[in-house]
Amino acid sequence: MNWLDTILQGVLLGGLYALFAAGLSLVFGIMRLVNLAHGDLIVLAAFLILVLVTALGLNPFVAAVIAMPLMFAIGWALQYFLLNRTLGKDILPPLLVTFGLSIVIQNGLLESFSADSRRVFAGSLESASVNLGPVTAGIMPLMTFFSAVAVIVCLNQLIYRTSVGRAFRATSDDPVTAGLMGIRPQRIFAMATGLAMVVVTIAALYLGTRANFDPTSGPARLIYAFEAVIIGGLGSLWGTLAGGIILGVAQTVGAAINPEWQILAGHLAFLAVLLFKPRGLFPRAVD
């Protein structure tokens, strides 16, 4: 067994999990909302890209660029008209509503696309690879990983270097006082969810080109995203990348030992972090 290769593949897989998780982390960090439909929204975006690719004959990357503003609009409207109504001191309403939304999205996709597995074809890129000394890495996994890093860099720049980012943080600290500054928390939350849906679209591009997906693929994606966020520390974006990598490496190492252990090893790594660092490895204070 080539351990170096196993770990590299795990790190690259971690990039995909970080992409799954970055939107979840952003939304949780700003409005303390746990979106149980997050995985289904990734699958919804994957189907949107699939439709654009098959109906218009577009390259998947171009289709993703077109899908981004559409998903932003969906996220904005979803937050502004539905999820904002569930926010408050009680954490149960957002959980219930997003759980219901998950079921609605899954059944809507089943009605529209049947239960068949689908895939977005990326042509020769799918099998392209590059030699990195003793190991070989696929171009698509590399692109996935560097997209995750780029997404996290961009989100951090937005949050810490722009006036919108200041408004995100201020609203997250205290929405009532933010209102006194002229900030409309409802719109800030809608913008954050819209932004999370843009990240979801990038995640969906790599999900769809890397593996098969079907209308019920969402909840498993949610679990990986959730585990990456918790391992990294709630609300910390770099922590989320670290969480994704730990999860990915645990899975590939588990699979290298015994193929049946892949998923189990990821969950065990998650439980181990929960046991020893219940707030995650990089909680928000050090973000």
Partner 1 sequence: MALLETTGLTASYGDFQALFGVDITVGIGETIAIIGANGAGKTTLMRSISGVLANAAGSILYRDEPIGALPAPDILARGIAMVPEGRKLFPSLSVEENLLIGRYGRKVDGPWTLDSIFALFPILKERRHNPSTALSGGQQQMVAIGRALMSNPEVLLCDEISLGLAPVVVRDIYAAFPRIRETGASIVIVEQDIAQALKVADRVYCMMEGRVTLSGAAADLSRDDIHKAYFGTEHHELA
Is there binding between residue 169 and partner 1 (CB under 8 A)? Answer: yes
106-145 footprint of partner 1 as x/- string (CB under 8 A) = ----------------------------------------
Closest separation in Å from C-beta 153 to partner 1: 19
Is there binding between residue 89 and partner 1 (CB under 8 A)? Answer: no
Is there binding between residue 24 and partner 1 (CB under 8 A)? Answer: no
Tell me the two tokens of residue 22. 């970055």
Is there binding between residue 156 and partner 1 (CB under 8 A)? Answer: no
Q: Among residues 225, 239, 233, 170, which one has the least CA distance to residue 196?
A: 225
Is there binding between residue 177 and partner 1 (CB under 8 A)? Answer: yes
- How many residues touch partner 1 under the rule CB under 8 A: the total is 17
Is there binding between residue 173 and partner 1 (CB under 8 A)? Answer: yes
User: Among residues 144 and 172, whose Cβ is nearest to partner 1?
Assistant: 172
Contacting residue, 170, 263, 274, 281, with partner 1 by CB under 8 A: 170
Which of 17-25, 133-141, 167-175, 214-222 is the region at the interface with partner 1 (rule: CB under 8 A)? 167-175
Q: Are residues 132 and 9 in contact, defined by beta-carbon separation less than 8 angstroms?
A: no
Is there binding between residue 163 and partner 1 (CB under 8 A)? Answer: yes
Q: Among residues 202, 217, 247, which one has the least CA distance to residue 49?
A: 202
Closest separation in Å from C-beta 155 to partner 1: 15
Closest separation in Å from C-beta 235 to partner 1: 10
Is there binding between residue 90 and partner 1 (CB under 8 A)? Answer: no
According to CB under 8 A, which residues from 179 to 218 bind partner 1? 179-184
Q: How many residues belong to the chain?
A: 287
Contact residues toward partner 1 (CB under 8 A) are 163, 166-167, 169-170, 172-174, 176-184
